[in-house]
Structure 1
Amino acid sequence: MLKEVQRNELFCAYYAKWIQVYKKGAIREVTMDKYRMAHQWLEKIAPTLKIYELSRITYQQILNDYALSHERQTTMDFHHQLKGAILDAVDEGLIDRDPTRKAIIKGKVPAAKKIKYINQYELHTLLNSLKLASTVSWDWLLLLIAKTGARFSEALAVTPQDFDFTRQTLSISKTWDYKGNGGFMPTKNKSSVRKVQLDWQTVIQFSSLIRGLPKSQPIFVEPGQKVYNSTVNDILERHCKHAHIPVISIHGLRHTHASLLLFAGVSIASVARRLGHASMTTTQKTYLHIIQELENKDIDLVMRSLASLS
C-alpha cells in the first residue's frame, strides 16, 4: 500500500526530496544550485508526471523539451542530474525498468565559442591600458589575476596579509562568496590552497597599493558590498575594445596566464600547481590544444637535431 502511494507521487516532488536527502551536505553549494535548477526545470517541463508514469518515452520527452532551449552539453548535464534519482527509484521498486536507458541527448546549435585566451602581445597591450591609480580599483584586480592566474573568487578574497613581499609570494587559501551573501569560503579543493610566486614588478606595485589597508580585510571588496562577476567582465570588455584586442572574460585572463606559461616552456606540473588544479589531468584536458601545439614544435626540434647529426 505504501509503495503504491509512493509510485503515485509526482516525480518533481520525489526529485526535490531526493536532492535534500542524498545531495545536501555531500556536494559543494555551487553544485547543489545546479541540482536545484534541474528541479525547477522539471517542475516546468513535467509538473504533473507521476513516478509510475516514467518510461523511456516520457523521459525522452523531458529531455527533448529541455533540449529546445539548451545546448547538447547542458542537456547531458541535466540528464545526469536526473538519472541518479531515477535509478534510486528503480532500486526501490517505484519504477519497473530504467527509463534513462539508451536516452538520446539532443540540444540546440551551440553559440559561437568565445575566445578563451589572448597572446602575449595582446596581454601586454591590455595591461598597458589599465588605469592603475594609487587607490584600489577593479583594474588592480584584473592585473592580479593576469599575473597570478587566480580564480575570480580567489582574487576577491585576497587580503593584505596574504602577501609576503620578502619571499615574493601570494598565499591563496580561501575564496569570496560573491554569488551568495559575501564572506570567506574554502577553496575549490585542497590543491587550490597554494603559494603563488610573484614577479618583482608586481611586488613593488602591490606593496605600495595595500600600504595602510586593514590586514585581514579583502582588498577589493568593501564591507557590505555586493560584487557581480558581470560588472568586472564589463570593465574588462571595455578595456579589450579600447586596446583593439579580442574580448575575453575574467576567467579568460586565468586561461591566458596558463597558456603563456605553457608556451614559455613551463612544465604542466608547475602550471597545475600554480593554478591550483586537483591534478595534472585537469590541466592537460583544459589546455590540450596548446600542449598539442607544443608537441608539434618538439617534433620539429627533434627532427632538426637528428638531421644535424648526419
Structure 2
Amino acid sequence: MVEKVRDRKMDTPNARKALPARGKPYYRTIAKGLHLGYRKGQTGGRWVARHYVGEQDYVVETIADADDRMEANGTTILTFSQAQDLARQLHAQRNAPAPKAGPYTVNDALDAYVHWMEGKRKSARDTKWRRSLIEAELGDKEVAKLTADEIRKWHRKISETPPRLRTKKGKEQRFREPASDSASIRRRRATANRVLTILKAALNYAWREGKVDSDKEWRRVEPFEDVETARVRYLSIPEAKRLVNACEPDFRNLVQAALQTGARYGELTRLTVADFNPDVGTLTISESKSGDSRHVVLTDEGKRLFTQLGAGKQGSDLLLTNAAGNRWGKSHQSRPMIDACATAKISPVIGFHGLRHTWASLAVMNGMPLLVVAAQLGHTDTRMVEKHYGHLSKSYIAEAVRAGAPRFGTVEETNVVGMGG
C-alpha cells in the first residue's frame, strides 16, 4: 500500500493558517515525479498537483479546494490526506501504459490489474510476488483464447510444485525439497488457490474493461476444497504477558499496541497522536490494507496505553517510534519479535501478525460477536473472521457435547502445569 506523506505545515487547516498567502503553491513531494501543492489565498486555499513530464518540464493542475473553511466532502473539498490520494490517481492515469496493439495477453491483464490496484490505494504486493507463478505458464496466452482446461492444468501444476526459496536475482529459482505428507499437500493446494484468485481477479478486470467478450472459461475453474483449515496461532493471556515483559521498551510499546487493537504492523507504525481520541476511546486507522479507514474501539486498558504513548507529543507526531525516535520500518519488527519470544520461552515462535490473531481469537472466545470482530479488524464482512476464528466461538453444539458426552473417570489427576498457565 502507498504510504501517506506528512507535512506539519500543511497537514491540518490550523497549520495552514500560519502560511502567508501567495500565488506560488507550497509544494510537498509525495511520489517520484509528483508534488502536491497548496495555493494559499486570502480566505482559503486550493490543492494542486504538479506532474513531471520530462526534460525539466512540469504540468500543474488544480484538483480541489482545501478544507480550510468547510468540512471535507471527499470530492470538491479535500483534506491533505485525501488530496494526496487524488493527486496519485491523476498521476497514475497520466502514466498509464498506452493501449497495446495486437492480442491482449494474460501479462497485459496482470499489468492493468496491478495498475488499477495501486490507483485505488489497494495493496498489490501479494499480486506482484505471486504473478511470476502465473507468467511462467500463462503469461503469453491470449485472454480471449484461454480455456478452462488450460487454467485447470496450470492450477494443478502449481499445487504440485514445492515452495520457492529465496533466490538471488538472475539465478535459477530454487525450491524446497518436495514433501508428500497431507499437511504439505494441503498448504500447496491453498497456495494454488490464492494464485488462482489473483489470476481470476486480473481476468475479471480485463472482462469488465471490455478487453474480452466473455468470462465463462475461468468461471468454470473451481479451487481446491477444504484446504484453508490451518490452525491460527495465538497466545494465551499468560504467554502475552511474558512476551510483553521480555520486550525492549520501544518494542514493548509496539507489541502492547498490537495486543490492544488487533491492528496490523503497518497500520500501527503510521499512527499519530491525532489518530487517538481519548474522549471516546478510539483509534482512527486512516490507511488499511483495503484502502478504507476505520475506527478501532479501545478498552480502558487500551486508552491508558495510548494516553501514555501520546503524552507530551504534538498531534502530528508518531505514537510509536523505535529507540532512536524514528518510525519503525519494513520488517524491523521481525528480529525483536524472535528475540522476545526466545526470552519469554514461547515456542514455536510467533510472528508479529500473530498478535492480531491473538486479539481476535481471545475476543471470539470471550463471546464477542463475529460482526464486531470483523469491524475492529477492518474486514467488510464476517467471512474471513468465520473462516479463521469461527471454530473458537461459543456454539450450542459445543455446549451440548460438553454437557451430554459420557465421562469415564479414567484420566488421572496431575499437578503438572503447562507453560501457557
TM-score, structure 1 as length reference: 0.67
What are the equivalent positions in structure 2 for 1:1-310 lying under 5 Å apart? 6=102, 9=103, 11-16=105-110, 18-19=112-113, 23-24=116-117, 28-30=121-123, 32-37=124-129, 39-46=131-138, 49=141, 54-56=146-148, 58-67=150-159, 68-69=161-162, 71-83=188-200, 100=218, 103=221, 116-132=233-249, 137-165=250-278, 167=280, 169-175=281-287, 188=290, 193-200=294-301, 202-221=302-321, 227-228=329-330, 230-246=331-347, 247-291=349-393, 295-296=396-397, 298-299=399-400
Unaligned runs of 5+ in 1: 176-185, 305-310
Shift in alpha-carbon separation, 1:272–1:43, aligned structure 2, 3 A? closer
Displacement of 1:116 in angstroms is 1.7
Displacement of 1:144 in angstroms is 0.8
Q: Which amino acid aligns with 2:269?
A: L
SS in 2 for 1:126: helix
Q: Which amino acid aligns with 1:210?
A: G
Displacement of 1:281 in angstroms is 4.3
Instruction: Give the conservation status (yes or no) of the 8 Å contact 2:367–2:393.
Output: no
Q: Which amino acid aligns with 1:291?
A: S
Unaligned runs of 5+ in 2: 1-100, 164-187, 406-421
1:184-217 C-alpha deviation (Å, 9 max, x unpaired):
xx56365x511422324x5445434432223212
Give, in whole Å, the separation in 2 of the partners of 1:140 and 1:151. Answer: 14
Give, in whole Å, the separation in 1 of the partners of 2:265 and 2:313. Answer: 21
Q: Which amino acid aligns with 2:320?
A: F
Give, in whole Å, the separation in 1 of the partners of 2:117 and 2:378. Answer: 25
Correspondence for 2:61: none
Displacement of 1:275 in angstroms is 3.1
Could you tell which deviates more after superposition, 295-304 or 78-87?
A: 295-304
Instruction: Give the conservation status (yes or no) of the 8 Å contact 1:15–1:39.
Output: no
RMSD across aligned C-alpha pairs, in angstroms? 4.2
Shift in alpha-carbon separation, 1:154–1:46, aligned structure 2, 3 A? closer
Shift in alpha-carbon separation, 1:161–1:261, aligned structure 2, 3 A? same
Instruction: Give the conservation status (yes or no) of the 8 Å contact 1:63–1:79.
Output: yes
Give, in whole Å, the separation in 1 of the partners of 2:378 and 2:135. Answer: 37
Give, in whole Å, the separation in 2 of the partners of 1:225 and 1:300. Answer: 50
Displacement of 1:126 in angstroms is 1.8
1:204-243 C-alpha deviation (Å, 9 max, x unpaired):
4543443222321222358985711x33133222212211
Question: What is the total number of aligned residue pairs between the two structures?
Answer: 274
Displacement of 1:57 in angstroms is 5.1
Displacement of 1:118 in angstroms is 1.5
Displacement of 1:142 in angstroms is 0.5
Shift in alpha-carbon separation, 1:238–1:295, aligned structure 2, 3 A? farther
Displacement of 1:158 in angstroms is 1.7
TM-score, structure 2 as length reference: 0.52
Give, in whole Å, the separation in 1 of the partners of 2:201 and 2:231. Answer: 32
SS in 2 for 1:194: strand
SS in 2 for 1:171: strand
1:55-79 C-alpha deviation (Å, 9 max, x unpaired):
4554444334433145212222323
Shift in alpha-carbon separation, 1:160–1:102, aligned structure 2, 3 A? closer
Q: Which amino acid aligns with 2:113?
A: I
Q: Which amino acid aligns with 2:399?
A: D
Percentage of pairs with the same residue? 19
Instruction: Give the conservation status (yes or no) of the 8 Å contact 1:45–1:66.
Output: no
Give, in whole Å, the separation in 1 of the partners of 2:231 and 2:338. Answer: 12
Higher strand share: 2
Shift in alpha-carbon separation, 1:94–1:161, aligned structure 2, 3 A? closer
